[in-house]
């Protein structure tokens, strides 16, 4: 089976970038950011394939 993976490139203007990992949270998942970011607008970009699959 051949799987073709296309990578998209996004250009985003912003103030700060963090690298992180998505963690399980109940029936969902979350990314933790610094408390000082509260109330700020953010964008989340997935940069790799998920390692876990939903049950």
7 has pLDDT over 90: no
Which pLDDT score, from 0 to 100, does residue 51 have? 83
44 has pLDDT over 60: yes
8 has pLDDT over 90: no
CA dist 15 and 42 (Å) reads 10
Whether the predicted model's global pTM rises above the 0.75 cut: no
pLDDT digits (tens, 9 = 90+) for 11-41: 889 999 999 999 999 999 999 999 999 999 9
- Three-class secondary structure of residue 35 per DSSP: helix
- Number of residues that this document lists for the chain: 55
Residue with tokens 């089976």: 1
Cα distances (angstroms) measured from residue 2 to each of 5, 6, 49, 51: 10, 13, 16, 19
């Amino acid at each position: 089976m051949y799987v073709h993976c296309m990578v998209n490139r996004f250009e985003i203007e912003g103030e700060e970038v963090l690298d992180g990992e998505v963690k399980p949270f109940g029936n969902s998942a979350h990314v933790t950011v610094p408390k000082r970011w509260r109330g700020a607008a953010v964008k989340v970009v997935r940069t790799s394939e998920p390692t876990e699959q939903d049950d």
